[in-house]
Amino acid sequence: MAQTRSHERSRRRARTGSRFDRLREYVSGDSLRDVHWKSSAKREDLLVKEFADDRSDRTLLVAAEAREGHADEMAAAAATITMAALESGLAVELAVPNGTVEQGYGDTHRTRLLELLARADAGQTGRVDDADVVVTANGDGVTVSVDGRRQSFAAVTASQDNPIAGEVNG
């Protein structure tokens, strides 16, 4: 159902004059008006046009690091932050110790982010100095740093109903 809502937002943006961004594979529920027929004719599957609005021009680099034994906590916190950023219309780039997902947005990008986080290992990224948000997990818990200001993950998510926050810091 969440996937359908996201595609519905894409269709609404297409109708309100947003600019074309890229082509992606057709997903059940996409409007046939968004199918790029010329490109689809050259392939065995349908491709649909994805549109961007002004909000998606903003980008966010999240670097997530963890000490040994704390990769799951890091991944859970980074997932919460990256998914919230995508929902806010930001193009998100993610760096974890064993990989990177370049900036993007949309359902396919969401899947790539979550797949990388599911495989995330402990270690360092080498991207902390470039990152807009740094997630760090160690024996003391999970912290989030933005503009040099460091807070516990629980404090960052305390105002939201977030079932993951209790699991990560509990």
pLDDT at 98: 96
pLDDT greater than 60 at residue 167: no
pLDDT greater than 50 at residue 10: no
pTM over 0.75: no
Residue 137's contacts (CB-CB under 8 Å, 6 or more residues apart) are: 64, 65, 66, 67, 70, 71, 73, 74, 77, 143
- The structure tokens listed for 71 are 């990769």
Q: Is 110 helix (H, G, I), strand (E, B) or coil?
A: helix
pLDDT in tens, 112-143: 999 999 999 999 999 999 999 999 999 999 99
pLDDT in tens, 49-102: 887 655 445 889 999 999 999 999 999 999 999 999 998 888 999 999 999 999
pLDDT greater than 50 at residue 13: no
Q: Which is nearest to 72 in space by CA: 63, 61, 64?
A: 64
pLDDT at 34: 87
Q: Which is nearest to 96 in space by CA: 108, 77, 164?
A: 77
Q: Where are the alpha helices (DSSP H) in 36-162?
A: 37-41, 71-87, 107-118, 153-157
pLDDT at 3: 43
Please report which confidence band the pLDDT of residue 11 belongs to, taking 50, 70 and 90 as the band edges: very low
